[in-house]
Amino acid sequence: MGSKDNLANFKKAYAFFRSAVQSQKAFTYSEISAAVPDWKVDTVRTYAGKKWREFLPKGSKSFTLNAIKFPYSEDEFIRMMSQVQSKSSNPSKPELPENVEVLVEKAKESAVLAVDIYNRATVSFHSQGFIVMMIIAWTALLQAIFEQEGTDYHYYKKDGSPDIRDGDQRTWELSECIKHSVELPEAVKNNLELFILLRNKIEHRFAPAFDLNISGECQAMLFNFEELIINKFGSYYSLNNMLSIPLQVINSQTPWQIETQKRLQGKHYQELKEFVEAYRQGLSNDIFNDPKYTFRAFLIPKVGNHFETCDTSIEFIKYDPTHPEMYTDIEKSIVAIREKTVPVANLDCLLPKMVCEAVSQKSKKDITISFHTKAWRFYGVRPKNKKGGACRADYCHYDEVHNDYVYTRQWVDFLVRKIADETEYQRILAQK
């Protein structure tokens, strides 16, 4: 019997099993043989013992199937029937050209490493490490797609010869891959372009921790990657079964969160935050609100009415902008539990009198308004006039409404450290 005949028989067998899944009716070896006339009952029994042990239990005379027992696609079933051990033992793994498979595996493993870094409690390089590894993952994934489609993603010199660097021909970096990826939605491209810019800052300049500000974009970057790798190369390469949802310990605005936000107000963080905000402001509302650019979610306590409904603590409901009415009840629930917040200008900043009180309490020295004025002049924290101007953002902010300056907690801590040195304290006192 030729390979074409075998393939035709495999497809007949698959059609029989899929029909059995849909009907939920019991069947026997004889009925399988009747559905595939080229197979005798003994042939069916042999296949059952060697190939179908996962879904046809040994020793039974009749069988029933459901989607859990028989989850295979036709391609997976045909690979299961292969005489090649590597194919039959792992039928869910799609057959890919070697160069494509290498790139897809690289993409998947890089993404898994990225999430591992982001979720690891003992690592402080969360978002930075995630971004670097996800850039590698996305580059490999897009190159794998080009390789599969026959698109040349290599660089060439002006004379047409290969551009060789360190013994290998240069391939497109992620920014160039994006230009040639016509299928990528604009929101996905904008998301990736933000992270390319941030990656450059991470690799070539100092970049402080900024996890709290870009977590939505990070989540969207991962979801977009997962969707694309499944669409192009199958569910075998899904990250879903390898990753878990990290447990959340933040129930509301905790002291840890508040303190973290205070420490994040340093100069480098402020510059990076302004950079991200400027990038966001350059996007259209449609792109900025697209979940493919940034993922936003509320964690709503879920109450299960039955034991069977409590096996998953968190469910992600995919937003479909074409059916907004589906989310009316969810939005009502969110409004019902959402904390009411009122925007406050210069949140957690202090007036001069408050600075004096705080420094006095911590330093055990009597700090007056006069001394405070000498201190900000001595360290050049702000201009002398009250019309605004350049000031050290980590210590001081100009309040336009009141035409005055307010000071940060960092300024308090800075002063306490400085005046602990008696010589420095006297130098400030001598300031005119």
Q: Give the count of beta carbons closer than 10 Å to the beta carbon of residue 296.
A: 11
d(CA 194, CA 217): 9
Q: How many other C-beta atoms are found inside a 10 Å radius of the C-beta of residue 23?
A: 11
* Per-residue confidence band for 102, with pLDDT thresholds at 50, 70 and 90: very high
The answer for residues whose C-beta is within 8 angstroms of residue 174's C-beta and 6 or more apart is: 135, 138, 139, 142, 192, 196
Q: What percent of the chain has pLDDT over 70?
A: 75
Residue 240 inside a domain? The answer is yes
pLDDT for the residue 224? 93
pLDDT of residue 385: 76
Q: What contacts 24+ positions apart, CB below 8 Å, involve 347-355?
A: 348/262, 348/408, 348/409, 349/397, 349/406, 349/407, 349/408, 350/406, 350/407, 350/408, 350/409, 350/411, 350/412, 351/406, 351/407, 352/407, 355/407, 355/411, 355/412, 355/415
The end-to-end CA distance of the chain, in Å, is 103
Do both 106 and 78 map to the same domain? no
**CA angle, residues 409, 415, 418, in degrees to nearest 5:** 145
Reported pTM: 0.59
Rounded Cα gap, residues 307 and 28, in angstroms: 35
The reply to whether 60 falls in a domain is yes
**Which range in 36-50, 118-132, 243-257, 347-361 is most confidently predicted, on average pLDDT?**
36-50
Across all residues in the chain, what is the average pLDDT?
A: 81
Select from 194, 188, 267, 254 the least CA-distant residue to 222.
188
Kindly report the CA angle at 423 between 418 and 424, in degrees rounded to 5?
Answer: 30
- Under DSSP, the state recorded for 206 is -
Residue 126 inside a domain? The answer is yes
Is residue 138 domain-shared with residue 280, that is, in the same domain? yes
Q: Is residue 308 part of a domain?
A: no
Say which range, 224-233, 328-337, 415-424, has the weakest mean pLDDT: 328-337
Q: Cβ(304)–Cβ(310) under 8 Å?
A: yes
Q: Bridge-partner residues for 399, per DSSP?
A: 404
Would you report the helix, strand and coil content of the chain in percent, each value rounded to 5?
Answer: 55, 5, 40
**Does residue 309 lie in a domain region?**
no
pLDDT at 205 over 90: no
Quick: pLDDT tens for 152-166.
Answer: 999 999 999 999 998
Q: Residue 123's pLDDT is what?
A: 65
Q: Do 64 and 107 belong to one domain?
A: no
Q: Is the pLDDT of residue 111 over 80?
A: yes
Q: Coil, helix or strand for 382?
A: coil
Tokens of 19: 């029909």
Answer yes or no: are the C-beta atoms of 295 and 220 closer than 8 Å: yes
Angle between helices 267-281 and 186-204 (to 10 degrees): 160
Q: What is the total count of domains within the chain?
A: 3
72 in the same domain as 106: no
Query: Higher model confidence: residue 283 or residue 179?
Result: 179
What is the spatial distance between Cα 61 and Cα 33, in angstroms, rounded to a whole number? 14
Q: Do residues 26 and 168 share a domain?
A: no
- Note the pLDDT tens digit of each residue in 287-298: 888 888 887 665
Enter the tokens of residue 102. 């290498």
The DSSP bridge partners found for residue 396 are 407
Q: Which domain holds residue 270?
A: 98-245+263-288
Same domain, 270 and 130: yes
Q: Is 317 within the bounds of a domain? A: no
